[in-house]
Amino acid sequence: MDTSNLPENIVPLYNTLRQKYRAEFEPLRIKDINLDILSVADLEPLLAGKDPFQDIQDFPFWARLWEAAIVLADLMVTMPAKPGQSLLELGAGLGAPGLFAASRGYRVTASDYEPHIMDFIKVSAAANQLSGITFQLLDWLKPPALPRYDTIIGAEILFREEFFQPLLTIFKRFLAPDGTIFLAHDQRRKSLGSFLSLAEKEYEIGVIPRKIKIDEDEKTIIIARLRRRHDTPFLQ
């Protein structure tokens, strides 16, 4: 990407991230859409040899463009927004699903819990000249006042069981009455089944496996679709 075309107000933020995290733009093509995603070029200093499926407590999940995020972004591309359709991305990380959703006309709110994560998505949104996207710091344990959304999405966000109930509360509070939730996770993520067992009390759930092949490595990603049961109470 030609970074000389970045908006003037974004350049200082981009330079700060590039120096601190060795950040670089990574081109990502899905269907007919090409976006440049600001990513961490060298993960090793952050990962320190940690395996996300063995050691999850301090693993920087936000820093990697996960296969599940790519599959979820592909789903958003195949489902163009209806006029005015709103979408909340939870645990956005590098923000690929939300960015591609914005390119398809959704009014996107990208959310995560730390400012530097939001900074990556802000730079990517500006670099791709995407409009209709806002940025929200969101602590699931202390959520701010937000509107209800037609669609809520998340990729690789189910990694700590103590956050399952807070996440269900987020769903109750922010999902529109006829809204839909899409969650995408590697099938190896054992926590997915545990979470869906809790969620099925209040949501009708459909599960679809999708395969993705990157650098000769094929993985199966599970997309779970959740829709509120009619007798599920709302939170104000």
Kind of pairing, strands 86-90 and 217-228?
A: unpaired
Exposed (0-12), middle (13-18) or buried (19+): which is 195, by Cβ within 10 Å?
buried
Q: In the CATH hierarchy, which top-level class contains the domain 3-228?
A: alpha beta
Q: What is the pLDDT of residue 55?
A: 56
174: Cβ contacts below 8 Å, ≥ 6 apart: 88, 143, 146, 147, 148, 149, 152
In a 3-state reduction of DSSP, which class is residue 86?
Answer: strand
* pLDDT for the residue numbered 53: 53
Q: What is the pLDDT of residue 86?
A: 98
| Percent of the chain with pLDDT strictly greater than 70 | 90
Low-confidence residues of the chain, pLDDT below 70? 43-59, 231-236
Supply the pLDDT for residue 233. Answer: 61
pLDDT one-digit tens code per residue, 17-35: 999 888 999 999 999 999 9
d(CA 172, CA 190): 24
Question: pTM here?
Answer: 0.92
Per-residue pLDDT tens digits for 91-111: 999 999 999 999 999 999 999
Name the amino acid, one letter, at 79. M
**Cα–Cα distance for residue pair 71/193, rounded to 1 Å:** 19
